[in-house]
């Protein structure tokens, strides 16, 4: 899709949805240096049931692994066409990280100190069991410098809920809150899980607003289907 067509499509999406809510805190990334790294506190977690719905990229995969689910969630964030934000796995050996994938930032431990999200299952905190999991963003001033995602190990059983959980909590790590008027949003408490396992238009609009590939993509205002609304000038 060319840049002009992307702009038209996303102007329509932003003008109609814009249910997303943004908290303070933006990662120190840019178009030239766009990557935030994801670090796991373990790598042996097991998924018992692949119940992802038909049509999902991992539907029907036999012996589905945590790594496959996480990578698919990373791919979802990396494939928002109007956002420059990139996610990548933290290197197994930070001293020898290897060559960055096309589009990713070159890894350095110094850079990653303020651009890493840690994910850990096995938390005994009541929040991790009752709500599915929780994210703890660490914001200094208006800059996000780290984020931790914690969840109970029991939430690893079903691939569908795990996919939603990772997508949702990563959204919090990128300052997305819970929209109250959107039902088909992975950040929303409302609506069917079947329709918000992965990122929806509202979620993508929120990420685009904070990390826009083109500055114009972040300057639209909500029209809610009304005509006569114009973009902001500042």
Encode pLDDT of 161-207 as tens digits.
999 999 999 999 999 998 877 777 889 888 777 778 999 999 999 99
Q: What is the pTM of this model?
A: 0.84
**Domain residues of the chain, as ranges?**
25-218
159-173 and 66-78 helices, crossing angle to 10°: 40
Q: How far apart are CA 14 and CA 180, in angstroms?
A: 16
Indicate the class that CATH gives domain 25-218. Answer: alpha beta
Write down the pLDDT at residue 20: 80
Q: Identify the segments of the chain with pLDDT beneath 50.
A: 4, 8, 10-17, 225-234
Q: Which residues of 19-47 are buried (b: 16+ CB within 10 A; e: fewer)?
A: bbbeeebebebeeeebbbbbbbeeeebeb
pLDDT averaged over every residue in the chain: 85
């Amino acid at each position: 899709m060319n840049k002009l067509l992307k702009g038209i499509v996303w102007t329509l999406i932003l003008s109609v949805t814009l249910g997303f809510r943004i908290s303070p805190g933006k990662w120190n990334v840019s178009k030239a240096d766009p990557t935030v790294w994801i670090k796991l506190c373990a790598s042996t977690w097991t998924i018992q049931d692949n119940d992802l719905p038909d049509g999902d990229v991992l539907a029907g995969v036999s012996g589905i692994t945590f790594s496959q689910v996480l990578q698919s969630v990373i791919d979802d964030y990396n494939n928002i066409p109007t956002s420059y934000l990139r996610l990548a796995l933290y290197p197994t050996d930070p001293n020898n990280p290897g060559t960055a994938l096309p589009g990713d930032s070159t890894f350095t431990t110094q850079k990653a100190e303020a651009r890493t999200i840690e994910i850990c299952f096995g938390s005994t905190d009541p929040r991790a069991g009752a709500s599915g999991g929780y994210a703890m963003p660490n914001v200094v001033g208006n800059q996000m410098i780290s984020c931790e995602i914690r969840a109970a190990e029991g939430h690893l059983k079903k691939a569908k809920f795990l996919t939603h959980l990772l997508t949702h909590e990563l959204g919090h790590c990128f300052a997305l809150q819970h929209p109250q008027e959107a039902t088909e949003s992975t950040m929303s408490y409302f609506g069917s899980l079947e329709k918000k396992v992965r990122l929806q238009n509202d979620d993508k609009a929120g990420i685009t607003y904070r990390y826009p590939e083109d500055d114009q993509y972040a300057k639209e205002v909500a029209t809610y289907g009304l005509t006569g609304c114009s973009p902001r000038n500042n």
